[in-house]
Amino acid sequence: MSNTDPTEIWRLSASRVATLVRQRKLSAFEAAQSALARLDAVNPKLNAVVDHRPDEVLAHARAIDAALARGEDPGPLAGVPVTVKINIDQQGFATSNGVNLQKEWIAASNSPVVDNLLKAGAVIVGRTNAPAFSYRWFTDNRLHGRTVNPRDSALTPGGSSGGAASSIAAGIGHIAHGTDIAGSIRYPAYACGIHGLRPSLGRVAAYNAVTPERIISGQITAVSGPLARTVDDLRLALAAMSAPDPRDPWWVPAPLVGPAAPRCVALCVAPDGMTTQPEVVAALRDAAERLRDAGWTVDEVDALPPIRDAVQVQIALWMGDGYAGMVAAAEREGDAGAIAALAGQATLARSMTLEKFSTALVRRAAITRQWQVFLERYPVVLLPACAELPFADDLDLQGPDAYARVWEAQMTMIGLPLTGLPSLVVSTGMVGRAPVGVQLVAGRYREDLCLAAGEAIEARGVPPMPIDPQ
């Protein structure tokens, strides 16, 4: 059926695969075969995908081809191989979140994210790894083991969606699902040299029936979103993921494209005194020039609305609600990374009271308001994804100073989710064997502005992708 080299299908964009499948110039079965062959070739080196069932994958692909043969439209992601993270429900699979404590938590139904990907015609080829409890920006756990960054095995692949980013960078699937409460989509994208979109709170419906209801901090700061090798594929994935589902009370029926806005960007290379490495500053200034070349106005500003303060509020809400239970679970699991992540915030978490928690929620509203007002003047903000190039793997376990360095460098990763605003990491190049990129922020439900600016940056050069593991 296909004139496409079957050994090269995995290299194509998701948009191209979907177009070819709908035109019946490529079968969904061929696309699935190619994805599975690529998984077999590189996953033993990466451990990015930790659970998959090839027979079910191929059966699903055949069903899509059969629907096309009947004249049916399988959806905008027709036949596109995708991956989902091990912390969301997929019927018949364990929602393990990287811990032995949950390895028997078999989902009886799909998360809305999975259902919406399937409704759009995607083929789920596997489930990607995460750190235990999805707590770290490094991906390792006692249940599934360590995930490797395909660009440089000495670097973290990021976390918590490290398996998702590693898989996309290496060509296992064309779109990956990730989750983000403090950078867990954006940082893995940055570390693996791909693109990652954290949507607005309420854009993508999510819910796990197999796990307890989320605490309030998770409900108001955690989101699901896509990682991909092109900005256009992120746009396609977002459209599929953001379909309605009544199980998520936070879901909002907001349009994917908002009203016209000035192509005006605020560049800030060192928000709130961030000690941004020269290589990262250079990437930001390069991205600004790319935007100017594309017709955008870019003003460099010395200050943005609060980020450092937002970090403290975010940590207070995240760690201060049920902290003792988190620590007890981490200790039962015996995961060193999870224990260290929690121990590093012990002073703040153990000092939390109901009054302090209420004060943090009040402060969240004030910080969000300041950001929304600023974004009326500058519809897009360009700022660091991280203060440093991707960290050496397990840097956070190298003592208190290293732990503090990691959390300080991740200020924008942690602080921005407090506001519920969308943010996009675009990979722009390499510094030696380390990827580098930038972060874009826009107003609530204005992912379209992030994507438009990201596309202008992307058009002027990105690292090679997909790649063979280095």
| Residues tagged active-site | 85, 160, 184
Distance CA 187, CA 197 (A): 10
- Beta-strand relationship, 380-383 and 264-267: parallel
| Residues 101, 346, 134, 367, CA torsion sign | positive
Give me the DSSP letters along 26-84: S-HHHHHHHHHHHHHHHHHHH--EEE--HHHHHHHHHHHHHHHHTT----TTTT-EEEE
Q: How far is CA 295 from CA 290, 298, 378, 443, in A?
A: 9, 9, 15, 20
| Residues 335, 332, 87, 201, CA torsion sign | negative
Closest by CA position to 200, among listed 32, 31, 446, 432 = 446
| Residues 305, 309, 311, 315, CA torsion sign | negative
C-alpha dihedral, 32 to 38 to 44 to 46, nearest 10°: -100
